[in-house]
Structures are given as structure tokens and as C-alpha cells.
Chain A
């Protein structure tokens, strides 16, 4: 079958266009999918992660995937970040060093993810990764990856990439998994038929976790929210039929027009805003327990 992919930017519509492809190819088995980019007006580099997660699930059903008719500008972006290398395109050297290249990392391979960040987060507009914004961003990215490790049940791994925009002083990092999605875990936990959007809202509340074992949870996503809020950045979470966005102090929760498998998280920070990233309130070591 041929699927004509429409524009994929970092917004609700972009996720919907990827979800439309997932739905279109839902019944495809041991066949062939041609992803035709001729109607794709633009593609944000970081969105290669959710695209890869969708394609990985389709390929997992023994389908061959081909990517064709990619407009030159988009081809350059997706060759620079290595995404198209898996589909027979030659990589282009990222001379400006603005790309966090696309990688697929197994959930069990946490060390490889740490190496990836160590290697590629440097030089992306944040001078110090051990303090302030750099430290807080690194922690936030690890929190999201750990969430995928613990909750996603993704057998196909976690897909990561990102893009630094020096003029705009923005850095976007995107992680996507091909797992069960937030809704399934929240439904199992709450034992109620919540919508995808409500499940995302629930999961982002401090103290909320679907864990029930010996290790508590429910702090990581609240931490991420606090960091992005302090930075005046953006978070987007798309999972199944839900889309959440935090931008400019405003939260938006919407229903996607089609079912996007797994969970994708976009973290966008303003690299010029290196202000105070201390979590509210000071604590002394003697007051912890």
C-alpha cells in the first residue's frame, strides 16, 4: 500500500498525521508500505522519533517499508539526523553540529542512552550540563527515558533524536516508544475507562503513579513540568488518542483525530534562559527523612 504522509511539525496536527499512517496500515501484514512524502510540506527533525516508532510497529508485522519522493529540504534534514540511513539513504555530515541524531535504543540498554546524551547534548546551546538549565534538562530527559523503560512495555525500544535551532535559541529533544501508551496503564490502575487525554492529565499530576510494587513513583513528570515551566519552554505528550501541551504557561489537552501507538514526548527549552532551576524550597540534609 501507499501512504501519503502530510506535514509533520511539532504540534497536534503533526502527531495526527503520523497517527493517520498507523491507522491506515493497521491491517497490513507481511506486505509492503510505501511512505510517500510528496504531499509532506514540512517535517520537523525531532519528529523523526514518533515517525520511527510508528514505522517500527508496522515493520514488526513483517512488512517491508520504503520511503519515497522526499522533497529535497526534508531529505536533507532527515539524512543529517541519520533517520533516513535505515531506509537506504546516505547520511549527510552535520557540519553545523545542531542535530541530536536519530537512534533506536532498547529499554535494557540504559548505558547506551547515557552515552548518547553525553556525546550529543554537548554544544547544543547549553554551555554547562552540570548546573542550572543543563543539569535540569539532562535530568528531565533521563526521567522521560526511565518512564519508557518502566511503563511502556515497548518491545521495539525507545526512539530518540533532537534539534538545536541556534537563531531561535531553542533545543528540542523527542523520545517516542512503541509501547502500550499511557491510557492502558492508567486504566489498569484506576480501573475505569478514562480517555487518553484524561490519562495523560492524570499521569502528569505530582504523586500520581501507576506503580504498585515496592518502588514508589510519581515524581519524575512533575519534575519535568517544573523545569520546563521555569525555562518557559514547551512540553508535548502524545499517546494513543490524547495530546497534551504545556506552552507559555498554558496547558492544552485535546483528542487526536487518530490513534497514535505508544507515547511520544517533546521537550523544548529556551537555551538563552539559564535562570534559576532550583526546585522550590530549600532543604537541609537533616530534614529529609
Chain B
């Protein structure tokens, strides 16, 4: 077993577009067990040409709901990502930290309670 396992996003998604939350979930589902088992994981965006926040929220952002920040910092790294996309990922990560601190319940019943008035 190598010291660090490379998670190749292009191969998991099956192409250069990382533009859906569903694909992000698939990538998450490959990363999370590695972290759970204490492996170091390097997420590679080699050959990926488009990535959006909805993908990154699912793939990486939601890890902050499952692992402590220190554990993620210790085990997870990214590589082969453009400077622009790194800034976007940083926004997603900072946002995820806040999101899980302030998470609240969604109230499906509300719509019925308030009716249609403005």
C-alpha cells in the first residue's frame, strides 16, 4: 500500500466535466472510506477542464460534515488543479466549514402554512 493514494477524478467521472452534484457524490464516495481508514488521499484533477461548486460541494465540501477539520488537513490534498479552480475550491471549503457549524432543518411544511401571499 503506497503512503498516499491518488484519487483520479477524471477516471471516476469518466470525462473532463465535473459539473454535477451526482458525479461529485460518486467522487466523495471514493474519498470518504480512504479517510475513514486513515489513508492519505491526493485528489487529482488532471485532465479535468471544467469544475463547478455544486460538484465540489458534494465531492469535498460534505467531508466536513463527517470528519474533523484537522483530520482532513492531515490526510487530504489536491493536485493538478488550475489556479482559478483552486480559488473556487477554497471558497467551497471555507463555506462548508461554516455550513456545518450553522446547519439547520428544512421545513417542508412551511409552504403550506404561509400560502401564496407576498
Contacts and interface: CB of A to CB of B under 8 A. Distances in A.
A239 interface: no
B79 to A, nearest CB: 6
A64 to B, nearest CB: 27
B58 A215 contact: yes
Interface in B90-118: 90-93, 95-96, 98-100, 103-108, 110-111, 114, 117-118
Q: Contact residue range for chain A?
A: 35 or more
A212 interface: yes
Contacts of A279: 84, 87-88, 91
A214 B110 contact: no
A120 interface: no
B20 interface: yes
A264 B76 CA distance: 38
B20 A149 contact: yes
A285 B78 contact: yes
B83 to A, nearest CB: 6
B78 A220 contact: no
A132 B81 CA distance: 15
A143 B53 contact: yes
Given A110-B19, A189-B107, A285-B81, A219 B95 contact: yes
Interface of B: 17, 19-22, 24-25, 49-54, 56-58, 61-62, 64-66, 69, 72-73, 76-79, 81, 83-84, 86-93, 95-96, 98-100, 103-108, 110-111, 114, 117-118
Given A139-B51, A217-B99, A288-B89, 7 more contacts: A143-B53, A150-B21, A207-B95, A215-B62, A217-B54, A278-B87, A283-B83
Interface of A: 110, 114, 130, 135-136, 138-139, 142-143, 145-147, 149-150, 180, 184, 187-189, 191, 193, 195-196, 206-207, 209-212, 214-220, 222-223, 241, 255, 277-289
